[in-house]
């Protein structure tokens, strides 16, 4: 489909953009029928230059990367505005050196699930460092952030219990809640009155009550009002769990996350998170009381039945936690970049929603324009993510950019200039 800059933005003569939701269930005697329909859809996306996923990286994840350009088949340098590598730790010399040393000493894998023969001294050290970092009694580590959320929630909540989820909680929280067998209710985004009312109405009908909220929301970059939620939970006898995936290493004076940001460290019942974003590796964790952590070791199936993290990753994560504490300039650079970039986007007139951290949505709402903007930015060597329903609500599709401490002013200026050109061409901004 040729793109005419003059007509770009005129939605009337465009067919409705299909989304993943349209191929979720196409009832047919052949289970694979939907995969053929989906393959046709992907083909149309590729022809339109709208297939911007799985771009092949030829270099490590830094502020600038080289990709194998899907349009030209040639290597191409791009500004990376789509990673969760907030502090640049994936390639930090100390983090890499710790991993290499552990590889030599411990070999490639842990060799077993943690409860049986897979707990290395390194794993215990990481758990203890995480507990100290989060101000909790103990911590448990999982193979991924996804499996930690699923394991924590399904490990603790049962039929007869009730879970209250913010409507913008991450998919892993939704999946863990469903798997638990507990009743699941969703409250409007950060709506304290709604949560309070729901707890007042339902608490007495259920046994255990668990409220779950992202500390920093992954698609909007806003921060949860955790102190107020904690107060509501305490009043109704509910436990509070927060997911610190995008908060750890990003917010709080020392980058310790949402409780530090709100000056309530050590008070949230379960602090969960990933080790894959600012910490630069892979894995997930829960920091909580000794009793809760010990219980999870025996009842979180994604912990019990999954091999422990590789030693090299574990050693790198330990080094990453140390770097966050010993090199505060990384956090300072990230926040300098956040302030500069936010002002740039706002001055240009983009709608960045509720963003207040390193995640910047450019909310557009028209799926075709989002795809076109992603394509135009790709042409300008800026690597961004496009996000559509069902990852966000209908008519809230967006470009999602995320900042790193290692972005230079030149990276940010070039990105802002490219966004301005693409945004104007598509009528997203004036
Ligand atoms: C809020 C949130 N929680 C959990 C996860 C899952 O983490 P991981 O990628 O480490 O499995 C992610 C990201 O992917 C996330 O954004």
For the chain, domain boundaries: 1-6+63-86+329-366+373-430, 92-326
Ligand 1 centroid from CA 245, angstroms:
6
DSSP letters along 307-360, please? PPPPHHHHHHHHHHHHHHHH-HHHHHHHHHHHHHHHHHHHHHT---TT--SSEE
Q: Which one of 130, 145, 215 would you pick to mutate in the ligand 1 pocket, going by the greatest count of ligand atoms within 8 A of its CB?
A: 145
Task: State pLDDT tens for residues 381-420.
Answer: 999 999 999 999 989 999 999 999 999 999 999 999 999 9
* 172 Cβ below 6 A of ligand 1: yes
* 276 Cβ below 6 A of ligand 1: yes
Q: Quick check: 3 pLDDT over 50?
A: no
Nearest-atom index, ligand 1, CA of 284 = 10
Q: Is 204 a catalytic residue?
A: no
Q: How far apart are CA 359 and CA 381, in angstroms?
A: 19
* 366 Cβ below 6 A of ligand 1: no
Nearest-atom index, ligand 1, CA of 214 = 1
Task: State pLDDT tens for residues 214-231.
Answer: 999 999 999 999 999 999
| pLDDT at position 15 | 76
* Class at the top of the CATH hierarchy for domain 92-326: alpha beta
Do 92-326 and 1-6+63-86+329-366+373-430 fall under one CATH topology?
no
Of the candidates 104, 102, 133, the residue with the CA atom closest to the CA atom of residue 120: 102
Higher pLDDT, 169 or 4: 169
The alpha carbon of 141 is separated from its chain's Cα centroid by a whole number of angstroms, namely: 17
| pLDDT at position 26 | 94
Task: State pLDDT tens for residues 244-284.
Answer: 999 999 999 999 999 999 999 999 999 999 999 999 999 99
Q: How far apart are CA 175 and CA 168, in angstroms?
A: 13
* 144 Cβ below 6 A of ligand 1: yes
* 216 Cβ below 6 A of ligand 1: no
Instruction: Give the pLDDT band of residue 12 (cuts 50, 70, 90).
Output: low
Of the candidates 51, 62, 30, the residue with the CA atom closest to the CA atom of residue 411: 62
Q: Quick check: 2 pLDDT over 50?
A: no
Protein residue with least CA distance to atom 9, ligand 1: 145
Q: What is the pTM of this model?
A: 0.95
Task: State pLDDT tens for residues 152-170.
Answer: 999 999 999 999 999 999 9
Task: State pLDDT tens for residues 87-116.
Answer: 999 999 999 999 999 999 999 999 999 999
Chain mean pLDDT for the chain: 96
Token pair belonging to 331: 């956090």
Q: Is 246 a catalytic residue?
A: yes
Out of 2.20.130.10, 3.90.1150.10, 3.40.50.1100, 2.40.40.20, which CATH number does the structure's domain 1-6+63-86+329-366+373-430 have?
3.90.1150.10
Cβ-contact 361, 387 below 8 angstroms: yes
Q: Are strands 209-214 and 385-387 parallel, antiparallel or unpaired?
A: unpaired
């Amino acid at each position: 489909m040729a793109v005419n800059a003059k007509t770009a933005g005129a939605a009337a003569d465009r067919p409705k953009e299909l989304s993943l939701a349209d191929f979720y269930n196409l009832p047919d005697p052949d289970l694979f029928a939907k995969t053929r329909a989906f393959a046709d859809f992907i083909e149309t996306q590729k022809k339109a230059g709208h297939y911007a996923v799985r771009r092949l990286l030829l270099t490590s994840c830094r502020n600038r990367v080289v990709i194998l350009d899907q349009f030209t088949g040639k290597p191409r340098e791009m500004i990376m505005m789509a990673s969760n590598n907030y502090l640049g730790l994936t390639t930090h010399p100390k983090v890499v050196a710790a991993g290499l040393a552990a590889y030599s000493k411990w070999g490639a894998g842990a060799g077993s699930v943690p409860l049986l023969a897979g707990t290395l001294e390194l794993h215990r050290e990481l758990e203890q460092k995480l507990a100290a970092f989060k101000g909790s009694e103990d911590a448990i580590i999982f193979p991924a952030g996804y499996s930690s959320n699923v394991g924590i929630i399904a490990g603790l909540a049962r039929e007869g219990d009730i879970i209250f989820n913010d409507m913008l909680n991450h998919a892993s929280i939704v999946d863990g809640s469903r798997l638990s067998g507990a009743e699941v209710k969703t409250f409007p985004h950060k709506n304290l009155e709604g949560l309070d009312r729901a707890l007042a109405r339902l608490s007495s009908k259920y046994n255990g009550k668990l409220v779950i909220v992202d500390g920093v929301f992954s698609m909007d970059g806003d921060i949860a009002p955790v102190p107020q939620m904690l107060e509501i939970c305490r009043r109704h006898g509910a436990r509070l769990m927060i997911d610190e995936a995008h908060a750890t290493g990003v917010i709080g004076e020392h980058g310790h996350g949402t409780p530090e940001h709100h000056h309530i460290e050590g008070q949230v019942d379960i602090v969960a998170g990933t080790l894959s974003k600012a910490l630069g590796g892979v894995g997930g964790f829960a920091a909580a009381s000794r009793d809760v952590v010990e219980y999870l070791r025996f009842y979180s199936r994604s912990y019990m039945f999954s091999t422990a993290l590789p030693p090299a990753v574990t050693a790198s994560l330990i080094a990453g936690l140390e770097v966050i504490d010993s090199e505060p300039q990384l956090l300072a650079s990230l926040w300098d970049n956040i302030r500069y970039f936010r002002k740039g986007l706002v001055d240009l007139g983009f709608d960045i929603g509720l963003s207040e951290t390193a995640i910047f949505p450019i909310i557009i709402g028209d799926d075709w324009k989002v795809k076109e903007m992603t394509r135009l930015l790709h042409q300008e060597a800026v690597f961004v993510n496009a996000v559509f329903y069902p990852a966000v609500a209908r008519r809230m599709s967006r470009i999602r950019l995320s900042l790193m401490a290692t972005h230079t002013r030149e990276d940010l200026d070039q990105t802002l200039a490219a966004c301005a050109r693409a945004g104007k061409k598509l009528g997203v901004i004036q």
